[in-house]
Amino acid sequence: MNRMQLFLSAVGICLVPSIGSAALVAALDFTNSGSAWTVEQIDTNGNNNLADELPLTFELGGDPTNVGIANATGSGQYRLLQQVFAPSGYTMSNISLTAKGSGYSSQVALGRVGFDTTPINIPLQADYGVDAGEIPNGSVNIDKDILLSAGANPEYTGITSIYVSVEIAKYYVWYDNNIRNIQIHADLTPVPEPSSFTLVGLGGLALLRRSRRVQ
């Protein structure tokens, strides 16, 4: 074994491997009137009177993970944003988002969700986003399964947070539209402590010195 191989062996011994299988990083909810989210209300009527818009319902149907606009005549549009962090001391890779959504592509009743590395609160402008009404198998989708995955995208490898966005909109149609049960999964890798790098250096030097004496 040459000196470089000895040094690399020391590095391999000191560095901690990543957690192989995807872990649940966050299960998002809309409790406490959605206090964990930044909420933007859009003026759909153009009259600068947000009071006449349909209200956004947190915990729709009694489900703490559900947000949407209940059946009613009228219009309303809302955009929500939340930053989701990796557990302390870890980075995330192979990030994915799962959820269920309802939306209607043939009429304006939108349930959208997405994620990005930057605070974009419009899901379809995010790197990964979808409209539940546009998921295949029909223009009327109720509680459809949603899966968004960054895979091996290097911009989403070894990061500590992402931004999750939700958009709910209804324009004079009598339909529920919602997003619920948002979960974030990722492979987690421990962040090496500064002392780990010191150990790597000292371990490598010790092995190199030992190899010199043996030679």
Is the predicted pLDDT of residue 165 greater than 70, yes or no? yes
φ/ψ of 200, rounded to 5, equals -60, -45
Residue 14: which pLDDT band, with cuts at 50, 70 and 90? Answer: very low
pLDDT tens by residue, 96-135: 999 999 988 666 788 999 999 999 999 999 999 999 988 8
CB atoms within 10 A of CB 207: 19
CA distance 87 to 106: 41
The letter for the amino acid at 111 is G
CA distance 104 to 76: 15
* pLDDT above 80: residue 195: no
- Residue 25 pLDDT > 90: yes
Q: Which residue has the tokens 């969700």?
A: 113
Nearest CA among 189, 159, 145 for reference residue 23: 189
Distance (Å, whole) CA 175 – CA 65: 19
Q: Which long-range contacts (CB under 8 A, 24 or more apart) does 16-20 make?
A: 16/190, 16/192, 16/196, 18/93, 18/187, 18/188, 18/189, 18/190, 19/187, 19/188, 19/189, 20/187
pLDDT at 81 over 90: yes
- The whole-angstrom separation of Cα 45 and Cα 78 is 13
Beta strands in 64-160 (DSSP E): 66-69, 75-85, 90-104, 109-116, 128-131, 140-149
Question: Quick one: 22-191 is in which CATH superfamily?
Answer: Galactose-binding domain-like (2.60.120.260)
Contacts of 17 (CB under 8 A, 6+ apart): none
Separation of alpha carbons 148 and 107, rounded Å: 24
Q: Where are the domains of the chain?
A: 1-16+194-215, 22-191
Kindly report the pTM of this predicted structure.
0.80
